Each structure stands twice: as structure tokens, then as C-alpha cells.
Amino acid sequence: MPTPSSSPSALRTPICLRLGIEHPIFGFAHDIATVAAITNAGGIGIYGATRRFPHEIRAELAEIRRLVGDRPFGVDLVLPPNMPEHNSRSAIEAHIPDEHRSFIDDLVERYEIPPASGPGMRTRFIRSTEIEQEQLQAVMESDVNLFACGIGAPKASVDEAKELGKMTAALIGSPRHVRSALDAGVDLVVAQGTEAGAHTGAIGTFTLVPQIVDACGDIPVLAAGGVGTGRQLVAALAMGAQGVWTGTMWLTSTEHADHLHPSVVRQLLNASSADTIITRSESGKTMRQVRSGWSDEWERPEAPVPLKMPYQDVLVGDLLGAIEEHDIEGLIHSAAGQSVGFCNEVRPVATIIDELMLEASRAMGTLQPSSME
């Protein structure tokens, strides 16, 4: 299949020119190789660093820089308001009800889950203002080009990043959140619809994006949630967005799949758009993931109501780690959005981007008046 050597000008939107990127494709991943590959293929990779220790963030951002050279890349932190002040697991554990502990013990017994060799991804540290400040410091000291806030955009951090010459972005899932994002002073708003993988809201992308575009005025908007094709990129531009922000579609890229559990990759390749579910059982906030025994167990009438973040993180963190480590059939799963229905084969990032841009160019062509006669 031929690949476009460069995007037609209509696809190279103002945000592309501002960032110096070829394609209006923002790609979020928790995997360094994938982030670098997205940037090197002409989009911009965004590294999801929220579960990384500050020293890891420093080293990983430096490694991405090494892989991409002068090309731009971003980093994303989730900085929810009202988290505990200190990184103290015991303080959180003291508030976990017995009913919830018994539910976890019962899962361990029924699925015969051996203990994990260490804390899980959600229990490596407790989400707290203490650790967030150190993570932010690592980001500010780095030469990363774009700083994105996953949940909540603290004005002081946005200001600091801007002073350091970084572009700033906030992900939002409702028109209600536009005001606080604009008040924080972000350069870019990501309108993320409910179809999206991981933490997500209730409004569909097609309904959300035009409302956010209208409310944002001159501040550029990206469309997120459910995007996996070039036709959707063109639709996003038609809705007034300047590009797309994507996550799920990279999970089955060659670069990312190499670093995921083979059972998870199989699950993603086999899942259709109908096979995802929103659950609070993972983090305490609404999260879209591939439906599995894990989400089914928490949907049972006798299951307890999940706790708030970060209590749910602490309740399930080690168990989720053990489920991954021991590949517990039925329970292993991944966060993913409805665009998982487009993830049908493992392909290199560059191929995914080339094909998406080729399809977008063709879709732009079908919109020309001559083709409608």
C-alpha cells in the first residue's frame, strides 16, 4: 500500500505547525518504545507516567528524548484533586471495610491466585500530593515538549510548564470541565468521549467534541475516544477539532504488544467494540476496560460497591499485580476503549500511522464537490 510522503495541508492543522509535527495524531501510551515510535512516525507520542516514581520519570523521559532526537514528545500525569497528603499505605488501609477485604480474600481463594512477588502497579506508591509534587518536579526538569493533565489541571503546574516553554493540555470528558481547564490556562484541550479506554466520562465523542470546540473559542481542541481510522480523523476535523488523541489503538502495535502479557494481547485482538465495560473496580473512578471475569465479579449483586480513589487502588492493587504476574485466566484484562474493535492484528506503529493518514487523505477526497456530482 502506498504511503503518503506528507500530509495534505488540510490534514496538517495549525497545532501540527505549532508543534512541528507532520500528522495531527497524538498517541498516548504507557510504553516508551511506542511513544518514541509515534513521534518518529510523524505524530506525537505522549508517555503515561502517572504510575512511575519520580526517578523513573526522569530516566524514562531522557530515554525517549534519546530515541526521538529533536522531535517533540509529551508526558501525561493524572493529578486528581483531594488525594491524601502523604504516601502512606497504612493510613489508607486503616479505612478499608471488612466487607471489601473479604470479597478480595474470596476471589483469591476461588481463583487460586498465588501472592505477587511485589506490590502491584496501583500499590507501588499511594497516589498523594506528596508524590505528585515530586513527579511534577521530574517533568518540569525534563525537556519534554508537552505536559498533559489526565484528571484535573492544577493552574500552578500549568503556569510553571508554560514558563519553561512546554505546551500544556488538559483531558476533559464534559462541557462542565471546560471552564476549569481554560482558567488553568492550558494551550490545548482534549475532548475525551465515553468510548475511550481507561478513565472516562458519560458523553459520546461525536456529541462531546462540537460542544467543547464551541466552548473553547480560540483554544485548540483534540478529539479523543473511539478513534481508530482515518475517516474518524477527518470527522474530528469536521467537528472543529485540530486532531485526534488516541490510546487504545497503540496497545496492539508491535512496539507495545512486545511489552504486554500475551494473554492481554490476545484478548485485545479478539475483543469487539461491544466487549468493553465501564467499572469503578480498578481505581475507584469510572474506567473502561475489556470485559472479563474481573469486571463480572464486581458486577455480581453480592459484590461490594467499589471504594473511592485511592482506597480502591490500595484494596485491589496487589491482587491485580498477582493476576498479571500469574496470568490468571478469566481475571487478566486491560483498560481499552471501544476502538478495540479496530485492533485486529499486531502492526508496527509506522504502518498504523501511514494507513490512517492514507485513509484520511482518501476521506478528504470524497468530501470534494467533484466527487459528489
Ligand X SMILES: Cc1cc2nc3c(=O)[nH]c(=O)nc-3n(C[C@H](O)[C@H](O)[C@H](O)COP(=O)(O)O)c2cc1C
Footprint on this chain of ligand X (rule: CB under 6 A) = 28, 48, 50, 76, 78, 150, 171, 192, 195-198, 224-227, 245-249, 335-337, 339
**Close Cβ partners of 269 (under 8 Å, ≥ 6 residues apart):** 252, 343, 344, 345, 346
As measured in angstroms, the least distance from the Cβ of 150 to ligand X is 3
**For ligand X, the closer CB: 79 or 100:** 79
As measured in angstroms, the least distance from the Cβ of 200 to ligand X is 8
Q: 320 and 332 in contact (C-beta within 8 Å)?
A: no
**For ligand X, the closer CB: 248 or 279:** 248
As measured in angstroms, the least distance from the Cβ of 99 to ligand X is 29
SS3 label, residue 73: coil
Q: How far apart are the C-alpha atoms of 358 and 128, rounded to whole Å? A: 44
**For ligand X, the closer CB: 100 or 234:** 234
SS3 label, residue 349: helix
As measured in angstroms, the least distance from the Cβ of 10 to ligand X is 22
What sign does the CA torsion over 121, 125, 128, 134 have?
negative
As measured in angstroms, the least distance from the Cβ of 81 to ligand X is 15
Q: How far apart are the C-alpha atoms of 42 and 35, rounded to whole Å? A: 11
Q: How far apart are the C-alpha atoms of 303 and 191, rounded to whole Å? A: 33
SS3 label, residue 365: helix
Q: What value, to the nearest 5°, has the Cα angle with vertex 124 and ends 121 and 127? A: 95
Q: Which helix (H) or strand (E) holds 289?
A: strand 287-290
* Distance (Å) of CA 133 to CA 16, 298, 359: 30, 33, 42
**For ligand X, the closer CB: 13 or 34:** 34
**For ligand X, the closer CB: 7 or 34:** 34
Name the residue with cell 468510548.
Answer: 195
**For ligand X, the closer CB: 191 or 319:** 191
Q: Closest Cα to residue 165, out of 141, 132, 182, 183?
A: 141
Q: In the bound complex, which residue of the shown chain has the CB atom lying closest to ligand X?
A: 247
**For ligand X, the closer CB: 96 or 359:** 359
**For ligand X, the closer CB: 57 or 100:** 57
As measured in angstroms, the least distance from the Cβ of 153 to ligand X is 11
Q: Closest Cα to residue 351, out of 137, 32, 40?
A: 40
As measured in angstroms, the least distance from the Cβ of 105 to ligand X is 28
As measured in angstroms, the least distance from the Cβ of 158 to ligand X is 15
As measured in angstroms, the least distance from the Cβ of 152 to ligand X is 10
Report CA 5 to chain centroid distance, whole Å: 28
**For ligand X, the closer CB: 152 or 306:** 152
Q: How far apart are the C-alpha atoms of 307 and 291, rounded to whole Å? A: 20
**Which 8-state DSSP code applies to residue 239?**
T
